[in-house]
Structure 1
Amino acid sequence: MPNYLYKRSDGRSQNWYVRLTAPTEIHPLLEPAQHEIRQSTGTPDRQKAKAVAARLEAEYRQRWEALRATQRDAPGHASLQSVGLTASLITQICGARLGSWSLTDDFERIEQDGLDDESLQHIEGFCALTDATMRSILAQGRRSSHWDPVVKSILEWGEDLGYDIEPTDPLFPQLVRGFAAAERQAHAIIRLRNGGETPAFPLQEEAKPRLSEMKAAYTTHKEGKVGRKTFTTNLSIWQRFVDFSGDVPLDSVTSGLVYRFLDDRLHTDQQPWSANYALGRAKNTLKEFFGLARTLSLMTVPNPVLALEIQPALSAEQAEARKRPRYPFATAQLNTLFASDWYVPTSPSFTGNMRQDLAARYWAPLICLFHGLRVREVVQLHSHDISVVEGVLLMTIQLDLTGTESSEGAERTLKNASTQRTVPVHPELIRLGFAEFVDTVRQRHAVGAPLFPSAVPNPDSKNPLWGRAYEQAFLRHVRQRLGFGPGFGNHSFRHTVEDKIRDVQLLQGVWPAGLSQFYTGRKLPRDSDKLLLRLQGSEIDYGKGYNPVNVVKYIQRITYEQVTLPLPFTTWLAGQAAVDPKLLRKNQSPLRKARAASKRTANGTRKEA
């Protein structure tokens, strides 16, 4: 909002005048004559004129800000984007300023009724004052008495363009000089036009797509086609890059900027990334975003990630400190767990879902101990996932919920295709009463239902996730209450099983090629297993894997002789209900089901769109 005091050049009045320009974004809400305000302060005294001008500015600013608030609240209005200045962006901002003056001048001279003598005199006076002000900026820099008002005008002009510019930006002085030069050039052209000449304003540099525009493009391209966690994590990585770089044009991004971003994330004091994450996941995400931008013709320069000839690095000590290892449980830790409050049905240490769902507390860790299931795999189990073939109790890890109580609720998720499998239930789980437990679930429900009702996602959640309550409660229990510390959690069972399978093969012979990967749902073996297992090549990609009935003789070798397991389930309950009826009623309430169905329908609509 430029606000300059000036005097008429024809000398017809000694009073000072003020000229105010409304923000461009609210021009559609104003009459054309209100886009620019020229008003006398009514005094020839400059100090008094400043006071009058400040009051007038405050009045108009209040009106205009109310209109801007209306614009901001309107659907689809984009919020300001924090930007880091670049030479290209400075050129764009200053070019837009010249373009704005061109439109304003053409409108007043051509599209309106033209300019009378008094209007010309007003403009002449304003042009002369603007020229003097901008010369002062260019000659004196920060020492100019006009520095602060011009900075204020630049920041407001940036807001009109949708940029949140920080005066502390290292390139801000260059923006001020570019803005001052553009103002001088614009008003020199206007003065020539006042004299009857017809100079043209320079052509404005075309606005180029910015980094922030890729969020919507990526959402259209990827949402619903990858897991929710993958999708949101990739968007988060991109937003971090935008925050670091500023919302600059896509074409201005260089490999140097990408390098500085990755280096910053490796060495920042606040939650630094590991080398694997920064140079793996994050780098690949940036490459994908820029590749999509080029494919959609939003970017014309080469993909800057591909131009990285070297990568930032951590010292060996830093790299080791950044690792987030997952450790297997030791025998002593397993005994501690099974003797802890987690396996005391009446323990007051647990509240909410974990107090109401004793079945989850009992069975989830045991299933993971003998099967190496991932946390989401075990908490998503339904009664229809358990079957009997040729007298063998089988467990199927799958996504299908057709015909179950959960068919209208949140979808199940799996890590990848090789995760889907059918395996025999370990004999030790059968001994503890797993088959009878599943039968009780079937007796309660006419169709397939969750084995662990506490795992049913809250339909009001922004991102419904199966088993969140169990996952968080178990993590807190082993890391904090039991004092196992970082690196231990449900995933520790998975490493425990894989270590046990390796030990079994060392002592009792190697299993058939690929069987251990099939059993644990891992397409590729861990590095520690590669020299031991006979890899199956590509045959894992064909057919449905091993006949689970024939797998029993191998998995029954997975035993924990030195671990004291809990009592069989029915005995362990000691008369307590496996699942609190209140929890069952909550999951089966019509309102909860309606919300879940509505959310699922909405998700499906977004995917189809």
Structure 2
Amino acid sequence: MKFVQRRAGRYEFRYPLPDDLAGKPVPHFCPEALAPLVNARAGRFKTELVRSLQTNDGPIADRRVLPHIAEVHGLVDLARRFLRDGPAAGISPDQIAAMARDHEIHLLGADEAIRAKGIGLDMTREDGQGPHDGFGMTGDDLGAYRMLVAELDRYTRQQAAQMRPGESTNSFVNRAVEARGFVLHPNDPAWRQLDLAFVKAQRSALAGIRKRLDGDEELAPERVSERTGMVLTAALRLWAEAGGAGARKPQPSSIAEAERAARRFVELHGDLPITAITKAHARAFRDALVQLPKALPARLGRLPLPKLLKEDLTKYARRNAQTVNKTLALLSGVLARAERDGHFEALPAWANPFHVGFDVAPAEREPYEPFSAAELQRLFASPVFARGERPLGGQGEAAYWFPLIALFSGARRTEIAQLKIGDVRQGEGGIWYLDITNEGADQNLKTVSSGRSVPVHHELIRLGLVDMVAARAKAQPPTAPLWPAFAPPIDPKAKAWTKWFGRYLGLHVVDHSAKTFHSFRHTFKRACREAGLSEEVHNALTGHAGGGVGRRYGRERRADGTLDCGISLARLHTEIDKVVYRGVTLPTSHRVAMRATEEPQ
């Protein structure tokens, strides 16, 4: 895996920064989000980013490095935009609060300096008396200062009452904005928010000064960060890492989708602190997603979201509401994890801003339908099954076996694609079964209940599945992929195969959005019910988590140390063989010996 290096027995992530950033001076007012790329002592961008992956296992390191790669690519893009466009326009509520607090601290500090040194005003001093010693205030100093503070307090209270800050307040605001390098349009509402926040800060400071003048101790408030709490990309990393060993982690595909969603959000709004993200931000993001097509040419796909929205996208098919809702749900999950960790405790009324999804029409919520007997008949009369054709997009024998395995096991596309040779094994009583797990390299499960053992249906044995596996086992170790074209990484290859199958299905069987590869899973579930299988049994075969807590009772430990589903393999074998498809002529026996030309080079 690129960017993974073994050092002193441990794996680490090493990312050389591109030439246009590496070692270059960092401009003033650099966004805090770029801190991982900056050598603060030298005031320059780093030449290389190095992080430990906390493992000495190669396959684990390859998986752990993926979120790091995505994060650094996002940081590099952000750094380039900052160097090209300058400081980001706009000020967040957290930044306004921090600037107002700094103004209050400045006023209280100035007061302390005046009273500590004094002015030296003494109306009763006689000629020849020495100068003021510079320690504290004289009585006349104190009287004059009280009058000044009272007048300033009256003036500030009037500004607050009128909600009309004066020129002196505007001057303070202008200097603060300029000092931080912010770029604000003259009509930006942030000016008004800053003016009012500074008036409030001045009132608080003057109240503290008056207490001091009465002899009370009044401490200056502590400074606050303009980025209170973590930013979105940091929250994403926390969600993706999901704790230590044994913690339930998001699937790599979900992490990749969440990273794409976060990248688009950052392109639109910047890498905001999660406490500053509002429903207005989420709605704007949602409405931008609606305008994006399902798929884009590479040239357009690389454009930042604001520039992409300016392109003419009318000739591309629009994405549907369910896809938009899924994107929002991923970012909602990222913030929900941060909320559990206490990052929103300062906001007692906080609500997840990404809960702004669309209401999906009932007809669209469950788009998949099972295949009819006539449709299955047309499938098995098509060139792959009737004439032995193997289209390039079908990836060899996967074109033949994936539909059949799904039809007689209910397995998902990725569960079939990620099978290793050793995952088709023989258990007690000589029963052949598919061991669907997440234990191998790049093997993942959709849910915890998806891990299961599914007996091989007698029709699959008749068609030659076991013989095909035996032929593969003679040439490759048990850990090798069962399908030569599906070596890790599997997910993008499985998606590409599904696109091919969708085209094949539309050409030879049925062209309908409700009929896809996932329809085999629905077809199998319906066939189980028709065959009289109990819900508990067919849920065990398909990995559905039905039956509540009691379903996990009675599970026995197998010889390899793993637990079964609570139903014996012999019972599952008897039950699955009851599944039949009446009115469907299945292919004839198809015994395939894997040729050397199919082996990966």
* TM-score bin (small chain): 0.5 to 0.7
Where does residue 469 of structure 2 map in the other structure?
438
1:336 aligns with 2:378: yes
1:366, distance to aligned residue in structure 2 (A): 0.4
Q: Secondary structure at the match of 1:411?
A: coil
Q: Secondary structure at the match of 1:23?
A: coil
* Deviations 1:436-487, CA, capped at 9 Å, x for gaps: 21221122235453221111125xxxx8667454334323433577562433
Instruction: Give the letter for the 1:427 counterpart.
Output: H
Q: Which amino acid aligns with 1:452?
A: W
CA separation in 1, counterparts of 2:584 and 2:463?
14
Shift of 1:328: 1.9
Q: Distance in 1 between matches of 2:439 and 2:392?
A: 32
The equivalent residue for 1:471 is 498
Distance 2:176 2:30 in 1: 15
Distance 1:167 1:202, change over 3 A: farther
Work out the CA distance in 1 between the residues paired with 2:543 and 2:487: 23
Residue 397 of structure 1 is matched in structure 2 by 436
Partners of 1:349 and 1:466 in 2: CA distance: 15
Output the CA distance in 2 between the equivalents of 1:541 and 1:155. Answer: 66
Tell me if structure 1 keeps the 8 A contact 2:96–2:194. Answer: no
1:242-281 to structure 2, matched below 5 A, reads: 247-252=271-276, 257-258=278-279, 261=282, 265=286, 269-270=290-291, 271=319, 273-274=321-322, 277=326
Change (3 A) 1:217 1:417: closer
Aligned to 2:350: 304
Q: 1:515 aligns with which of 523, 532, 537?
A: 537
Q: Deviations over 1:468-518 (max 9, x none)?
A: 54334323433577562433332111011001112222xxxxx35611111
1:90 aligns with 2:96: yes
Against the structure 1 CA distance between its residues 85 and 363, is the aligned structure 2 distance closer, same or farther, given a 3 Å change threshold? same
Confirm or deny: 8 A CA contact 1:441 1:451 kept in the other structure: yes
Secondary structure at the counterpart of residue 433 of structure 2 = strand
Q: Match of 2:522, as an amino acid?
A: H
Whole-Å separation in 2 of the counterparts to 1:482 and 1:156: 67
Q: Provide, for residues 552-607 of structure 1, a one-character-per-residue CA deviation record: whole Å limited to 9, x for no partner.
A: 3322221123223233213xx7xxx745x344142xxxxxxxxxxxxxxxxxxxxx
Check 1:323–1:267 CA distance in 2 against 1; reply closer, same or farther (3 A cut): farther
Q: 1:391 to 1:171 in 2, by over 3 A?
A: same
Counterparts of 1:517 and 1:384, CA distance in 2: 24
What's 2:399 paired with? 361
- 1:107 alignment partner in structure 2: none
Equivalent residue in structure 1 for 2:551, among 532, 536, 539: 539
Query: Which residues of structure 1 form unaligned runs of 5+?
Result: 1-21, 27-66, 104-140, 160-164, 186-199, 402-409, 506-510, 525-534, 587-609
Does residue 486 in structure 1 map to residue 513 in structure 2? yes
User: CA contact under 8 A between 1:397 and 1:421: conserved in structure 2?
Assistant: yes
Q: Which has the higher helix share?
A: 1
- The alpha-carbon distance between structure 1 residues 501 and 178, as it changes in their structure 2 partners (threshold 3 A), is same
Alignment partners' CA distance in 1, 2:186 and 2:371? 52
Among 528, 532, 539, the alignment partner of 1:501 is: 528
1:287-329 CA-partner distances (Å, limit 9, x unpaired):
22222243xxx75222612799xx76756xx534764622222
* Corresponding residue of 1:568: 589
SS in 2 for 1:390: helix
Cα distance change of structure 1 residues 541 and 417 upon mapping to structure 2, 3 Å threshold:
farther
Among residues 325, 339, 354, which one is paired with 1:290 in the alignment? 339
Q: Is 1:453 aligned to residue 491 of structure 2?
A: no
Q: Secondary structure at the match of 2:341?
A: helix
1:55-70 equivalence runs, <5 A: 70=44
Change (3 A) 1:93 1:248: farther
Separation in structure 2 between the aligned mates of residue 168 and residue 556 of structure 1, nearest angstrom: 75
How many Å separate the matches in 1 of 2:537 and 2:188? 60
Between 362-371 and 511-520, report the one with greater CA deviation: 511-520
The RMSD of aligned alpha carbons is 5.5
Q: For 1:269, what is the secondary structure of its paired residue? A: helix
2:214 equivalent in structure 1: none
1:411 and 2:442 matched? yes
The aligned residue for residue 209 of structure 2 is none
Alignment partner for residue 157 of structure 1, among 177, 180, 197?
A: 180
Residues of 2 paired with 1:454 and 1:480: CA distance?
24
Distance 2:176 2:348 in 1: 36
Q: Secondary structure at the match of 1:522?
A: coil
**Fraction of identical pairs, as percent:** 20
* C-alpha distance in structure 1 between counterparts of 2:30 and 2:454, whole Å: 63
Distance 1:287 1:345, change over 3 A: same
Partner-residue secondary structure (3-state), 1:514: helix
Equivalent residue for 1:211? 231
Partners of 1:87 and 1:97 in 2: how far apart?
A: 15
User: For residue 421 of structure 1, what is the aligned residue in structure 2?
Assistant: 452
**Partner of 2:28 in structure 1?**
23
| 8 Å CA contact 2:419, 2:482 repeated in 1 | yes
Q: Deviations over 1:257-312 (max 9, x none)?
A: 34873696379632464497588665454322222243xxx75222612799xx76
Moved more, 217-226 or 418-427: 217-226
How far apart, CA to CA, are the structure 1 residues paired with 2:229 and 2:474? 59
Taking a change above 3 Å as real, the CA distance of residues 467 and 453 of structure 1, as seen in their structure-2 partners, is: farther
| CA pair 168-299 structure 1, distance change in 2 beyond 3 A | farther
Is the 2:369–2:514 contact (alpha carbons within 8 Å) kept by the matching residues of 1? yes
* Partner AA of 2:550 in structure 1: S
Using the TM superposition, give the Cα deviation of residue 367 of structure 1 relative to its aligned residue in structure 2, in angstroms.
0.7
The one-letter amino acid paired with 1:563 is: V
TM-score (ref. length: structure 2):
0.57
> For residues 286 and 540 of structure 1, what CA distance do their matches in structure 2 show?
31
Q: Is the 1:457–1:468 contact (alpha carbons within 8 Å) kept by the matching residues of 2?
A: no
SS of equivalent residue, structure 2 residue 406 = helix
Q: Is the 8 A contact 2:265 2:285 kept in 1?
A: no
Contact 1:423 1:551 in 2 (8 A): yes
Aligned residue for 1:399, secondary structure, equals: coil
Number of the residue aligned with 1:111: none
Q: Aligned equivalents of 1:338 and 1:166: distance in 2?
A: 65
State whether residues 269 and 281 of structure 2, in contact with CA within 8 Å, keep that contact through their aligned partners in structure 1.
no
The equivalent residue for 2:8 is none
Give the counterpart of 1:383 among 417, 421, 432: 421
- Distance apart, 1:429 and its partner CA: 1.0
Aligned residue number for residue 325 of structure 1: 367
In 1: Cα distance, 2:497 partner to 2:327 partner: 30
Partner of 1:118: none
Does the Cα contact within 8 Å between 1:85 and 1:172 map onto a contact in 2? yes
1-structure distance, mates of 2:405, 2:388:
22
Contact 1:273 1:322 in 2 (8 A): no
Match of residue 599, structure 2, among 584, 592, 595: 584
Query: In the alignment, residue 456 of structure 2 is paired with which amino acid?
Result: V
Distance between the aligned counterparts of 2:48 and 2:178, measured in 1?
Answer: 23
Separation in structure 2 between the aligned mates of residue 333 and residue 155 of structure 1, nearest angstrom: 69
Distance 2:42 2:107 in 1: 21
494 and 84 in structure 1: CA distance in 2 versus 1, 3 angstrom threshold: farther
What code does the residue aligned with 2:340 have? G
CA distance in 2, matches of 1:340, 1:152: 75
Partner Cα separation in structure 1 for residue 193 and residue 548 of structure 2: 62
Distance (whole Å) between structure 1 residues aligned to residue 198 and residue 438 of structure 2: 62
Contact 1:432 1:568 in 2 (8 A): yes
8 Å contact kept, 1:479–1:486: no
Once the two structures are TM-superposed, the CA of residue 68 in structure 1 deviates from its matched residue by 11
Equivalent-residue separation in structure 2 for 1:480 and 1:172 (angstroms)? 57
Distance 1:358 1:450 in 2: 13
Amino acid corresponding to residue 174 of structure 1 in structure 2: R
Aligned-partner SS, 2:498: helix
Q: Go from structure 1 to structure 2 and tell me whether the alpha carbon gap of 1:177 and 1:263 turns closer, same or farther (over 3 Å shift).
A: closer
